[in-house]
Amino acid sequence: MKNLYNETLKSLEKHLVGAGFKAFNARQVFNWIYRHKETDFDKMLNLSIKLRAYLKGTFCLEQLELFHKQVASDQTKKYLFKLADDHLIEAVLMQHDYGKSLCVTTQVGCNIGCSFCASGLEKKVRNLTVAEMVMQIVGVEAVEAERVSHIVIMGTGEPFDNYDNVMGFIDIANCPHGFEIGARHITVSTSGIVPKIDAFAERKTQVNLAISLHAPNDQVRSKLMKINDVYPIDALLDSVRRYVDKTNRRVTFEYILLSGVNDQISHANALSDKIRGINAYVNLIRYNPVLEFHYRPSKEDDAQAFHQQLLKRGINATLRKERGSDIDAACGQLRTKVKNKGNTL
């Protein structure tokens, strides 16, 4: 039986029309499951008895099992969900002045293998389905009884390594009959898969694109991120320029500050030289330590100096406030801890 959360509005319309129903029925179904949070087809009373029977015989509306929840002192919340095949995934809810932002996971494990990231401690097992990404929002909204207003697709995994499913998830999140989250309230992040950046540019959506850069040159970046050996910085930045030209959208460069590795004034100067002229801003983030790695967060003075140097050199940049530092907030940390303890806490 198919999980209805896998269906975009377009695919459900096609499916229902092919079964002899009307295209507008798909919009009715979407309103029930995403607006009214209804999971019982029999309670969808504006649908015909015939359609309700068909839905019951064709689709299910599975839910994720909440395995564990952590709450930080700043009210950042991390959820560990169990999938139907017993794999564990994480989602993180952050409270901002502008609303509630959910960081969504796209894969079980990750093959990118960044040397500072807990996600890479567990190699990629498989991609998540559209439904498994959708159910992260459904699950969090059910637990909190509040609406998620923003999505960042930068949890465990490389979103562009699961491109088609992530695009389907974005379509549902943005759909007026789905979660109705504005495109500019959705951000997808990539470590730099150049062909997929080009493909994403062709969609010409208003969805935000973030690039995990983390270094100003190939020498440093290749030590931090194996993907740089496949798509070096210059090739990556060329794809970003093509994206900006095609979409007229500003890009975010994510830059994790690692003490003594990439956080010196010389690095700031090299970074500003490398990205000058690109319609972008830099989101500086002090590293959230991971027990298994030797990296440490940039000292506060070094982080501030790096930030100020970028501003002096005409680069738009922000130094992000640290969140969730007193829980397993970094991507993959909680999942890895639980697995190492035999799925217990």
Q: What's the pTM?
A: 0.92
Give residue 328's region: left, alpha or beta (phi > 0; psi -120 to 50): beta
Superfamily of domain 65-340 in CATH is Aldolase class I (3.20.20.70)
Assess contact for 187 and 151: CB atoms under 8 A.
Answer: yes
- pLDDT-wise least confident of 82-86, 129-133, 256-260, 288-292: 288-292
pLDDT band at 335 (very low <50, low <70, confident <90, very high): very low
Averaged over 249-267, what is the pLDDT? Answer: 98
Distance CA 200, CA 332 (A): 26
- Is the pLDDT at 329 greater than 80, yes or no? no
Q: Please state, in angstroms and rounded to a whole number, the distance separating the CA atoms of residues 323 and 95.
A: 10
Q: Write the pLDDT tens digit of every residue in 144-188.
A: 999 999 999 999 999 999 999 999 999 999 999 999 999 999 999
Fold of 2-60: DNA polymerase; domain 1 (1.10.150)
The per-residue pLDDT for range 6-33, each reduced to its tens digit, is 999 999 999 999 999 999 999 999 999 9
Name the segment(s) of the chain with CATH classification 1.10.150.530: 2-60
The whole-number pLDDT of residue 272 equals 98
For residue 325, the 8-state DSSP code is T
Tell me what pLDDT residue 137 has.
98
Q: Known catalytic residues?
A: 90, 331
Please report, rounded to a whole number, the percentage of residues in the chain having pLDDT higher than 90: 88
The pLDDT-based confidence of 321 (bands split at 50, 70, 90) is confident
CB-based burial label for 96 (10 Å; 0-12, 13-18, 19+): exposed
Band the pLDDT of 337: cuts 50, 70, 90. Answer: very low
How far does Cα 124 stand from its chain's mean position?
A: 16
How many percent of the chain have pLDDT more than 70? 93
Question: What average pLDDT does the segment 216-241 reach?
Answer: 98
Q: Which residue ranges does the chain devote to CATH 3.20.20.70?
A: 65-340
Length of the chain: 345
